[in-house]
Amino acid sequence: MPSETDTEMAPASHGRATIRTHHDDPELVARALRPDNTDEMETVVADETTVVTRIERETTGGLHSTVDDYVVNLEVAVDVARTVRDAPDGRDGNSAGTDAPDAPPADATEQYDDPADTGTVSDADTTTQEHNE
């Protein structure tokens, strides 16, 4: 799945970038990217081949870090899209109806389709520090 990337960055005094990438399935790539976006980011499908992500940070150092993270996430998203596109049944590397030992039973429900309630989650025993860049 070929992709092209154009990056426009504002002058060093302001942390802003617009990243445009071109994909065979931009909606799938955008859906794979969005969960990792921070509040300073927005990812949209601009047209039938283009994903656009806008990033705005207060500092250029913060922008650099966010763009680096985004590029790693983009590589993973493209790999996910390629895997889904190339899978015979559109879900994973197993052909539909295959008796492969690691294949789920035909009547299995994916976890994301029917999540189980895991109860209350608490971070009370951990400390979190602000990350300032």
pLDDT, tens digit, 9 for 90 and up, residues 16-72: 999 999 999 999 999 999 999 999 999 999 999 999 999 999 999 999 999 999 999
Per-residue pLDDT of 88-109, as tens digits, reads: 765 544 444 444 445 444 444 4
Q: What is the pLDDT of residue 85?
A: 83
In this prediction the pTM is: 0.57
At 66 the pLDDT is 95
With pLDDT > 90 as the criterion, what percentage of the chain qualifies? Answer: 47
List phi, psi (to 5°) of 121: -110, 135
Q: What does the pLDDT read at residue 30?
A: 95
Question: What is the band of 112 on the pLDDT scale with cuts at 50, 70, 90?
Answer: very low
Question: What letter would DSSP give residue 116?
Answer: P
Taking the CA atoms of 22, 78, 68 and 121 in sequence, report the sign of the dihedral they define: positive
Residue 18 near residue 67 (C-beta atoms within 8 A) = no
On average, the pLDDT of the chain sits at 73
d(CA 101, CA 104): 8
